[in-house]
Structure 1
């Protein structure tokens, strides 16, 4: 069965094949969260994603000559609403984009039955990297374990040994996801890991957590924050005079708007990132011409200069490239979810391809395979200079020799706990 919207009843690639019929839309819904306590981070990401697809539709007539229907289904970051959105959209969708680790974990067991690719760029269950076990799930271009590894690498083992690291995290599947890797590295290196959870109702008032931090006096704070938690933590850090250069956030805790609240007082705060805004990139000129100038964006000039909007562009590029590769492989624009799975596990985003896309410097190169659904792109450390985030490192790479065995172990445990669970040979 081919998965198009109701408008797309005709055969694709008609113009190329000379049939005179052209498919009208590919349905690639986004499980967005523009409302609720995480809206501040969701909105710029969703705007970037939306603008990229809008640009492709306006400039190129879509992908392979077929327009992309990038309809949003609002979840408010609620797992329950996210599952409802998934069930509502899966009948015609070629992909699902859960936008929450909690939602991802709920739809993951359905993936082998529904056979719709789960695209969770930079989030979700880290063992999804194992494409043999998680045949329909992708956390391209980097996983949470990659992020934790790169953050620790940046600090350096010599600076961690014998030290205390507070792990300030949202008390949610997202916040707990890096713990297996963090606990292993704490044991290997010899530092004390102090998990400090932040409940959903405590995100804007973290006085208890920061009282604990003041009492424990950790050498570093690693923050796994999201939405309102980030602004709350950064404000408390400034208030309690915690050294900002000893505080590092995951890539979802590197939002310009959160740091602008404290401005100069936030100088030195860092965040790992698999993306970076390049404002003079050719892509940005095309976004301006085909989207902004035409009054089709929901964003604004200030937001479009930030890390999260740019990351939204990168994330939609990953999906668009997967669609393009799938179309070329299948010989038709009218791709199925199965075709898209093939496309997503055969991405080769080289420096040359990034240049063709007008995105040089916006994301590191990466490549996926049947067995590797993450790509492990690496990332950069960004630092707040009082006004904006700047790159302060060369490209960092996660420790594959540590992460790969952990991925295989936990993927196997997941499959065993969810038997019968098909495993691919990936020949």
Structure 2
């Protein structure tokens, strides 16, 4: 009732000052990458994000009655361009969406000074889950260490990993190196041999050397941390070398429908861990069609909209919208600022009921953030390519965060010390 009254008062004030309200907006720029070697994955993600927010603008007048301005600043996935975009938009933005682990790592040291929250759903620096140390950064709803842990859990569920060999095919980039601490920890604990196989940015489309090594090593499994053109290159080589696809598992950025469609039935069995799932029957899809697609305001198409990445883009914008909504209720104003959004992002409670209320049925697991937990621990599902599309082949999986809690604390402390003086959220007792 308190929050309702606050918003009612804010709405009344806005109504009395209609001219001023018309000029208001929630500025949530996106550091997009629709060009460059990662464009194939960037485009559906950006389209899903944009369409969800466009739907809110058309259906609801924005969030809390304030329109959302989600303009894109093109980075081409370049860290240098990403930092330029950040500097360009930071004066009026209420959030930073870096869309690259490299850009995230460059922007992260600036957060305590600029006081603009980073929203990096499912990517970025894994210890950002420690909200007390990284009070302005959110890798909601699941991080890379969560992904690595769930993949190993799933593989172990197929049989003991003792004495097995796992090849880790990864982009030779900060993104590709993120899961190594967890994979190395599990290698020591579970007795399997980890064989890292890096793929350089210039080798993404021609991985003959890497797959020669795979053939030579004869691993029991290949875990792939790929992105953009690397995914299609790896999957094509795996088929060509007749690697058993059922023994190949990717991170959620390596589960892109278009990459598997290239090989079709030959890709059957390939798997990808995921914290999102496309559901064309979800009510939100009908609203997007009605308010955005039918109005001619979408850059997407029917095939793309059925895919994992478009649906994930929708979920990402829904997470942002929930953070904004929580902040509006708490502070009694629809026109929130970056500091208020920081509070909102660490007070998201995405229950099954709320997911249904938002029309996101089956598209994301429940999760809840807090001042100490900036990830929310949604867990995810193992998806498998059936020759035409990705389907769920597991129950809801959850990472064993307690197993690497000490590592999170250690790496967060190292980061704070290396970037001293580093401000932490002393009010957070978690």
What TM-score bracket applies, with the shorter chain setting the length?
over 0.9
C-alpha change, 1:17 and 1:39, in structure 2 (3 Å) is closer
Question: For the residues of structure 2 that align with 1:402 and 1:177, how far apart are their CA atoms?
Answer: 17
Contact 1:13 1:334 in 2 (8 A): no
**TM-aligned CA deviation for residue 15 of structure 1:** 3.7
**TM-aligned CA deviation for residue 18 of structure 1:** 4.9
Output the TM-score relative to the length of structure 2: 0.95
Give the match's secondary structure for 1:201.
Answer: helix
Task: Note the 1:312-391 alignment, pairs <5 A.
Answer: 312-391=313-392
Give the match's secondary structure for 1:146.
Answer: helix
Question: For the residues of structure 1 that align with 2:424 and 2:288, how far apart are their CA atoms?
Answer: 41
Question: For the residues of structure 2 that align with 1:360 and 1:412, how far apart are their CA atoms?
Answer: 38
**TM-aligned CA deviation for residue 351 of structure 1:** 0.2
Deviating 4+ runs (over 2 angstroms): 12-21
Determine the structure 2 residue equivalent to 1:207: 208
Contact 1:33 1:39 in 2 (8 A): yes
Question: For the residues of structure 2 that align with 1:383 and 1:263, how far apart are their CA atoms?
Answer: 13
Give the match's secondary structure for 2:16.
Answer: coil
Give the match's secondary structure for 1:378.
Answer: coil
Give the match's secondary structure for 1:193.
Answer: strand
Output the TM-score relative to the length of structure 1: 0.96
> Are 1:163 and 2:164 matched, yes or no?
yes
Task: Note the 1:91-240 alignment, pairs <5 A.
Answer: 91-156=91-156, 158-240=159-241
Determine the structure 2 residue equivalent to 1:44: 44
Segments of 5+ residues of structure 2 without an aligned counterpart are 1-8
Give the match's secondary structure for 1:360.
Answer: coil
**TM-aligned CA deviation for residue 17 of structure 1:** 5.7
Question: For the residues of structure 2 that align with 1:260 and 1:194, how far apart are their CA atoms?
Answer: 28
**TM-aligned CA deviation for residue 160 of structure 1:** 1.3
Give the match's secondary structure for 1:294.
Answer: coil
Q: Deviations over 1:391-421 (max 9, x none)?
A: 0000000011112221111001100111111
Question: For the residues of structure 2 that align with 1:156 and 1:13, how far apart are their CA atoms?
Answer: 53
Segments of 5+ residues of structure 1 without an aligned counterpart are 1-11
Question: For the residues of structure 1 that align with 2:358 and 2:365, how far apart are their CA atoms?
Answer: 13
Determine the structure 2 residue equivalent to 1:6: none
Determine the structure 1 residue equivalent to 2:282: 281
**TM-aligned CA deviation for residue 24 of structure 1:** 2.5
Give the length in aligned residue pairs. 416
Determine the structure 2 residue equivalent to 1:252: 253
| Superposed CA RMSD | 1.1
Determine the structure 2 residue equivalent to 1:20: 17
Q: Deviations over 1:312-349 (max 9, x none)?
A: 00000000000010011111011110000000000000
Determine the structure 2 residue equivalent to 1:30: 30
Contact 2:24 2:335 in 1 (8 A): no
Moved more, 64-73 or 156-165: 156-165
Q: Deviations over 1:24-67 (max 9, x none)?
A: 31110000000000000000000000000000000000000000
Give the match's secondary structure for 2:387.
Answer: coil
> Are 1:88 and 2:82 matched, yes or no?
no
Contact 1:321 1:347 in 2 (8 A): yes
